[in-house]
Structure 1
Amino acid sequence: MSECSEYKYLHNSDVKNSNEFKDDFFKKGLSLYEVMRVVESKPIFLEDHLMRLQKSAKKVEQFIWLDYSELVEKIKLVISTNCVVEGNIKIVFNIQENSRNFYCYFVQHKYPKKEEYAEGVHTIIYKAERSNPNAKVYDDKLRSYTNSLLENPDVYEVILMDGHDNIREGSRSNLFFIEGNTLVTAPDDEVLNGVVRKKIIEICKRIGIPVLKEEIAYNSLSKFDAAFITGTSPQVLPIKSIDMISFNVNHHLLKRLLESYRKELANYLTEF
């Protein structure tokens, strides 16, 4: 199945039929990308995503050849052409030795069910590291293997653990733990700094919740009261278990953060 969903995608400035799209477009060269959630036909936290894209390009000594207004115009074009109200939209800058190509298209998504937000999800550990965790660069090998693990219907996310047995992030999400009234997450330089992760940290600063950014050893997981992932599709999603370790999905701080994030999103949609 092609990664491209809906019936139209954008290649540079040309709108094309999705049956012309090939996942092999990104097998060659370097591909910088962002995936944004579309709600009410609006790309949410668009400015933050495009800022992170610029940072990713700088990390790998490349540049984004479209400016902010051009990117916004192209994203809105793909949304309106496909008449999408809700979904995930992806932008890719593919850089090869003799060519540079821009793609914008909708991708398949899997949003958590209502009961998963209420009951939490099961996750498993996989020992792997991103070669450049701060840059959102397409990694076909890592994505293919974690996708195979996610084919298990009982597993919602794969948690990545480094060579020193420290927990970093999910294969497509960021990870937070709660100990008492404190939030704990991996250091910024060890993870892909997701947009929802950024929003949660901003919310914590605003309402006075301490956030520790430190190494999280696998053998220390049982000391935490609660855990959750953040990301484009899950947004803020409680974890009920990592491997055989269970967490409290009804922790008061987790519920407060989930409610605060939903208010943040509602405010953004009103002002967009």
Structure 2
Amino acid sequence: MAFTHFSHNGAILPIDQAVIPLSSVEYSYGFGVYETIRVSKGKIHFLEEHCQRLMESARILTLQHIFTNEFVADSVKELVKKLAAETCNIKLLLVGGPTKESANLYIMALNPLFPDRKLYKTGVHCITVEYQRDYPHAKSLNMLPSYLAYRQAKSAGAYDALLINRQGNITEGTRTNFLALKDKTIVSPPTADILLGVARGKVLQAAKTSGFKIIEQDIKPADLAGFDAAFLTSTSSKIMPIRSIDNHQWPAIPENLKQLMSAFN
């Protein structure tokens, strides 16, 4: 589907009026933050949480601006209404400027890319790549290392690349959160080291309601054999089971992970 309009600082404009100032240092260096919001059957999912994280990402990067949570949320709602979009992804871009008044908020609709449904039954393959994000709690536009790691994963036929920090621990995927499972316990990498994904938070809420325990601890690739399963979470993937990581493979998706997937979906 071709989307005809976008939002710039709250004004809805024809998509052919979308321009990028090539002389801007902030645009050239990726001084900005972003969010991706899922819309299905006309419902905007977790809008408040995404707006809050956009603001938190900007705060972490000292990106000053004049926008509020309420303004961003209202702008998203107005664009979705204008486009009469039933199913799409909404991309928010907040790009800094020399002053807080010169920061720009762009909101656009994109066609969603949903995973093949069979992957939820077979599980996916992931590779590991050494890289540690400098501002893990900020969803920054400066994504070059993650982009290169993801491209490496695609070249290897993998679903995503899991990032290994300087201490040798698995932290997260390039565009997903990573969690492991043992019996009724979900193990998360320490939250200090990862992006606090909106989907991740909702999955853990559903897990607690279903009787799962959540703990945080470092997870090294050598520890994977001690878990029943591992999985990814993201806006588009929801809960995606992992079948293998590098050379480690799980024989099948266990019942405890199937129970968790059922509780969230």
Q: TM-score, normalised by structure 2?
A: 0.88
Looking at structure 2, the residues matched to 117 and 29 of structure 1 have their Cα atoms a distance apart, in angstroms, of 34
C-alpha contact 1:226 1:248 (8 A) present in aligned 2 = no
Instruction: Write the letter of the residue equivalent to 2:138.
Output: A
Instruction: Write the letter of the residue equivalent to 2:38.
Output: R
Looking at structure 2, the residues matched to 188 and 58 of structure 1 have their Cα atoms a distance apart, in angstroms, of 18
Instruction: Write the letter of the residue equivalent to 1:77.
Output: E
Matched, 1:216 2:223: no
What are the superposed Cα offsets for residues 191-212 of structure 1, whole Å, 9 maximum, x if unpaired?
0000111112222333331111
Which stretch of the first structure deviates more once superposed, 204-213 or 88-97?
A: 204-213
Looking at structure 1, the residues matched to 211 and 59 of structure 2 have their Cα atoms a distance apart, in angstroms, of 32
Instruction: Write the letter of the residue equivalent to 1:16.
Output: L
Looking at structure 1, the residues matched to 138 and 163 of structure 2 have their Cα atoms a distance apart, in angstroms, of 16
Which residue does 2:33 correspond to in 1?
A: 32
2:6 to 9, 26, 37: 9
Matches within 5 A, 1:243-254: 243-254=246-257
Instruction: Write the letter of the residue equivalent to 1:167.
Output: I
Unaligned ranges ≥5, structure 2: none
Which stretch of the first structure deviates more once superposed, 77-86 or 23-32?
A: 23-32
C-alpha contact 1:225 1:248 (8 A) present in aligned 2 = no
Looking at structure 2, the residues matched to 256 and 73 of structure 1 have their Cα atoms a distance apart, in angstroms, of 36
Looking at structure 1, the residues matched to 58 and 13 of structure 2 have their Cα atoms a distance apart, in angstroms, of 26
The 1:22/1:173 distance shift into structure 2, 3 A limit, reads: farther
Looking at structure 1, the residues matched to 110 and 214 of structure 2 have their Cα atoms a distance apart, in angstroms, of 33
Matched, 1:100 2:103: yes
Unaligned ranges ≥5, structure 1: 263-272
Which residue does 1:137 correspond to in 2?
A: 140
Which residue does 2:62 correspond to in 1?
A: 61
Matches within 5 A, 1:112-131: 112-131=115-134
- Secondary structure of residue in 1 paired with 2:175: coil
Offset at residue 54 of structure 1 (A): 2.5
C-alpha contact 1:54 1:64 (8 A) present in aligned 2 = no
Looking at structure 1, the residues matched to 91 and 158 of structure 2 have their Cα atoms a distance apart, in angstroms, of 24
Which residue does 2:15 correspond to in 1?
A: 18
Report the RMSD for the aligned CA atoms in angstroms.
2.2
Q: TM-score, normalised by structure 1?
A: 0.86
Offset at residue 18 of structure 1 (A): 3.2
C-alpha contact 1:238 1:249 (8 A) present in aligned 2 = no
Looking at structure 2, the residues matched to 225 and 191 of structure 1 have their Cα atoms a distance apart, in angstroms, of 22
